[in-house]
Amino acid sequence: MKKVKRSSRLVEMTQYLLQRPHVLIPLTTFAERYNSAKSSISEDLTIIKEVFQDEGLGELQTLAGAAGGVKYIPKSPKAASLDMMGRICAQLQEPERILPGGYLYMSDLLGQPSIVDEIGKMFASAFAGVELDCVMTVETKGIPIAYATAGYLNLPVVIVRRDNKVTEGSAVSINYVSGSTKRIQTMSLARRALKEESNVLIIDDFMKAGGTIAGMVDLLREFKATVKGVGVFVESDEDVTDHLVEEYVSLAVLTGVDTRNRHIIVRPGNYFEGVEKEQ
């Protein structure tokens, strides 16, 4: 095999690393792939590391020794994320988004893969240091965010269904009370969808009182799983006196919906507490 030039190697390694977040890649993999000395590969990685850092793409962690290698940890700098979230909040405040029941129309924003990708990267940054086995969400609107997050964390996704149509073999169903509407609802998960004793990150698009997420926590108990984190895109503190979920990361907070005057206030969530904007 012919030797690969540094310039081509840099392009190749960049895409290779970007496609494999949170995967430890031994230097020998690259050395063999490009028929190059490990010392050259190390120099390449130094260049890539610097650019990734400067561009806010994340960290390249290098581990020395026989079991060593390099690992790409996607991380968005919080100040840059806050700028991005500020722009999203401004869009969420458009009065025509107000829906009956104090909900917000967000399907247009969550229908844009590039925005979903940014949101996923923020959650992946927030939970990068947590030992996890999978990301869980409940259908429907949280699904794209859960996948974007899981992609950056290199984890599988488990989707809880909102009915108990058991089409996937034996399933566990639970009833839960929606915190805001006080109605009894059902959610279920196939037995084979989740290994027992898994470490789980729960992701959802919207949280009011937290009934749905509390339901997922109950469901996970049936699988002897541990909830290692909860991330919600938008939380609403509108008419909420009692949160059913105590610890969570939110990217935005809906603080006021004035249906009559068609006025909404959305500000960045608790993830950004104490963070200053870039400019």
Pick between residue 96 and residue 276 the one whose CB is nearest to its own copies: 96
**For residues 131 and 136, what is the distance between their CA atoms, to the nearest angstrom?**
14
Q: How many CA atoms does the CB half-sphere of 186 hold within 13 Å?
A: 9
Residue 23 corresponds to which tokens in the numbers above? Answer: 């995967």
Least Å from the CB of residue 47 to its own copies? 5
**For residues 16 and 18, what is the distance between their CA atoms, to the nearest angstrom?**
6
**170 contributes a contact to its own copies by CB under 8 A:** no
User: Of 8, 91, 175, 255, which one interacts with its own copies (CB under 8 A)?
Assistant: 8
User: Of 70, 193, 219, 257, which one interacts with its own copies (CB under 8 A)?
Assistant: 193
Least Å from the CB of residue 273 to its own copies? 28
| Long-range CB contact pairs, 54-59, < 8 A, 24+ | 56/80, 57/18, 58/21, 58/125
> Which backbone phi and psi does 165 adopt, to 5 degrees?
-70, 105
Q: How far is CA 148 from the centre of its chain?
A: 6
Choose the stretch contacting its own copies; rule: CB under 8 A; options: 82-90, 110-118, 172-180, 239-247.
110-118
Choose the stretch contacting its own copies; rule: CB under 8 A; options: 107-115, 123-131, 170-178, 179-187.
107-115
Least Å from the CB of residue 192 to its own copies? 7
Q: Which of these, 122, 195, 202, lies nearest to 160 by C-alpha position?
A: 202
Pick between residue 163 and residue 258 the one whose CB is nearest to its own copies: 163
Q: How far is CA 151 from the centre of its chain?
A: 8
Choose the stretch contacting its own copies; rule: CB under 8 A; options: 42-50, 87-95, 231-239, 267-275.
42-50
User: Of 32, 50, 197, 278, which one interacts with its own copies (CB under 8 A)?
Assistant: 50
The site for its own copies, by CB under 8 A, has a size of: 51
**For residues 277 and 168, what is the distance between their CA atoms, to the nearest angstrom?**
47
**For residues 233 and 224, what is the distance between their CA atoms, to the nearest angstrom?**
26
Peptide linkage before 140 cis (omega within 30 of 0): yes
Asked whether the beta carbons of 160 and 189 are under 8 A apart, the reply is yes
Contacts of its own copies in 195-254 (CB under 8 A): none
**32 contributes a contact to its own copies by CB under 8 A:** no
Choose the stretch contacting its own copies; rule: CB under 8 A; options: 11-19, 24-32, 84-92, 264-272.
11-19
**For residues 65 and 85, what is the distance between their CA atoms, to the nearest angstrom?**
40
Contact residues for its own copies, defined by CB under 8 A: 6-8, 10-12, 14-15, 18, 47-48, 50-52, 55, 57, 99-101, 103, 105, 107-108, 111-114, 116-117, 134, 139-140, 143-144, 147-148, 150-151, 154-159, 161, 167-169, 190, 192-193
